[in-house]
Structure 1
């Protein structure tokens, strides 16, 4: 289980390493372009959902439990990038492995 630390407040989002690896690529691409966006997810305990406003000037850190990076699913990255470019922003979802 990896973590996404955002801002100086120490807030952390715990995300499975494989999902975090894909999310990192999409977020880094958007931020490299100096683009802001939202990131949303459902609470793991089913109690609701959260959304973060991601801005290039706010510190961001990805921490992975696994030493080796996983193989990447280009389709999943494309789906996340498509949602990142929409008005709803990135919605962290399960990986769709089917081709």
Structure 2
């Protein structure tokens, strides 16, 4: 389990695999200067079930990983997360879709 820390005040534990995919999507949007909401559920955190933050290029974010290896990225999941981030409701942790089959050999 890695962690995502927002503005030094909000920290959430997220599996390294999804955290790596979220990082790709979040950084792409922030590099373009985009602002957007990010909402996740965390039923174990102080009895609260849902947290939302407003992400902008001006807020510090820290991605910390438990494992030393970069997880293999699933382009289909990055696309699904990007669509979520571009929606009116903002980024949410959508389930990982199956990867598209590559070209036949």
**RMSD (Å), alpha carbons:** 1.6
**Which sections of structure 1, spanning at least 5 residues, go unmatched?**
none
Mapped contact 1:40–1:91 kept (Cα < 8 A): yes
What residue in structure 2 maps to residue 96 of structure 1? 97
**Which sections of structure 2, spanning at least 5 residues, go unmatched?**
101-105
Structure 1: distance between partners of 2:43 and 2:94: 12
Mapped contact 2:35–2:56 kept (Cα < 8 A): yes
Larger Rg: 2
What residue in structure 1 maps to residue 11 of structure 2? 12
Mapped contact 1:41–1:93 kept (Cα < 8 A): no
The count of corresponding residues between Structure 1 and Structure 2 is 98
Q: Normalising by structure 1, what TM-score?
A: 0.90
* Structure 2 counterpart SS, 1:51: strand
TM-superposed deviation, 1:47: 4.9
Q: Normalising by structure 2, what TM-score?
A: 0.85
Q: Does 1:37 align with 2:36?
A: yes
